[in-house]
Chain A
Amino acid sequence: DVKVTQSSRYLVKRTGEKVFLECVQDMDHENMFWYRQDPGLGLRLIYFSYDVKMKEKGDIPEGYSVSREKKERFSLILESASTNQTSMYLCASSLRDRATIGGYTFGSGTRLTVV
């Protein structure tokens, strides 16, 4: 069963901590994405990557960085966690082809609380 795996379902971190959220996919997808989801705002794109070592900013990259050293793994890093980064974080992957949105698969999400 193909899937996208996020390393943690729930995380509680302290303000100022460096936080790593890990995402692994086993579908050989080129594209990987990190979103955050907040009530009333829907899914917002933080960063995406279309190839190993490649990354592009999404709509809300401030306070975040990413790493993609291997095709299957895409990490989201909160350099210094703040309370306004408390949210649900969702990873997704897809095929590269722009013409189709088939093959778009989500992880189960990580609910991060920063105290």
Chain B
Amino acid sequence: KNEVEQSPQNLTAQEGEFITINCSYSVGISALHWLQQHPGGGIVSLFMLSSGKKKHGRLIATINIQEKHSSLHITASHPRDSAVYICAVPNYGGSQGNLIFGKGTKLSVKP
């Protein structure tokens, strides 16, 4: 079973700061998900990536398959980026389509 570790668990930043959230996993995967959960509960998918880097606005996700590590970066952070960020990988020992989730990084961006 894949193990997923995220760091840090909590992160407080000032508006405008560059933010990095890290995710490591133990078993080789085909792709990794970054998810965002705002207060109130709903989860949305930010990225799915299997190699290299993806960029969407101020969000950048990178993955190193050999090192089993991914990072989520936020440039020029803003209070509206405050949320819980979760990485997820396929659970190859489980059902088809099932994911294993990191415990999440709670980000708070202060104005």
Contacts and interface: CB of A to CB of B under 8 A. Distances in A.
Partners in one complex: yes
A95 interface: yes
A100 B88 CA distance: 12
Nearest to B32: A101
A90 B41 contact: yes
Nearest to B33: A101
B95 A108 contact: no
A101 B42 contact: no
A31 B98 contact: yes
Contacts of A33: 98
Contacts of A25: none
B46 interface: no
A103 to B, nearest CB: 8
B41 A95 contact: no
B86 interface: yes
Interface residues of A, number: 31
A41 B102 CA distance: 9
A50 B33 contact: no
Interface string A20-64: 000000000011010000001111010010100000100000000
Residue in B40, B45, B88, B98 with the greatest tally of chain A CB atoms within 10 Å:
B98
Interface of B: 30-31, 33, 35, 40-45, 48, 86, 88-90, 92, 94-99, 101-104
20 contacts: A9-B41, A31-B95, A31-B96, A42-B86, A42-B104, A45-B94, A45-B98, A50-B95, A56-B95, A92-B43, A96-B96, A98-B90, A98-B92, A100-B31, A101-B31, A101-B97, A102-B48, A107-B42, A109-B40, A111-B41
Given A31-B97, A48-B98, A108-B40, 7 more contacts: A30-B97, A45-B98, A90-B41, A104-B33, A107-B42, A109-B40, A109-B43
